[in-house]
Amino acid sequence: MNSSHYEIEYKYLVDPAQIDYQKFPYAQIEQAYIHTSPVIRIRRMNDDYILTVKSSGMVKHIEYELPLTAAEYTALAQKAEGYFIQKKRYYLPYFWSGKEYVIELDIFEGCFTGLILAEVEFASEEEAAAFQPPAWFLKNVSHEPQYHNSFLAKHGSTYH
């Protein structure tokens, strides 16, 4: 699974009451940050464990992923800074302009209960800029650092 790629994604505040998201598949996620600048993150997604290193950038950045064992994840978790993030990530299909997108709807848990964000990945910055989100997307917060997971892990639930 070793992989490196550019990631271009937008984050949105949403109104989940406008969609029946619970009928879609989801993953249970726990993640923590060893470092936030540059981002070095560990993540448990269901039964998979991943170490991720991300370059700087709010919308576009290079991301490198490396698989971990459960034991490696547990050992690295002891080195984590700040708060652990727990969330359910629902995968919702969305069709726009002849293309299918996957909306990753994050329902945060634990100390972040109440925060709900959607992320959409794009092939280019031009595609991201032209994107028309569904009506239940309230606000694009891609350039607002307080909605990025690394910020939340470092500062806690300051989004309220």
3-state secondary structure of 136: coil
Q: How far apart are CA 48 and CA 148, in angstroms?
A: 22
Q: How far apart are CA 16 and CA 107, in angstroms?
A: 9
Find out whether 59 and 128 touch, Cβ atoms under 8 Å.
Answer: yes
Residues with a catalytic annotation lie at 33
Q: Quickly count: other Cβ atoms within 10 Å of residue 136's Cβ.
A: 16
Q: Would residue 82 be called left, alpha or beta, if left means φ above 0 and alpha means ψ between -120 and 50 degrees? A: left
Residue the block writes with tokens 């998201």: 21
Kindly compute the dihedral angle of the four CA atoms of residues 3, 133, 142, 125, in this order, to the nearest 10 degrees. Answer: 60
The structure tokens listed for 41 are: 């993150």
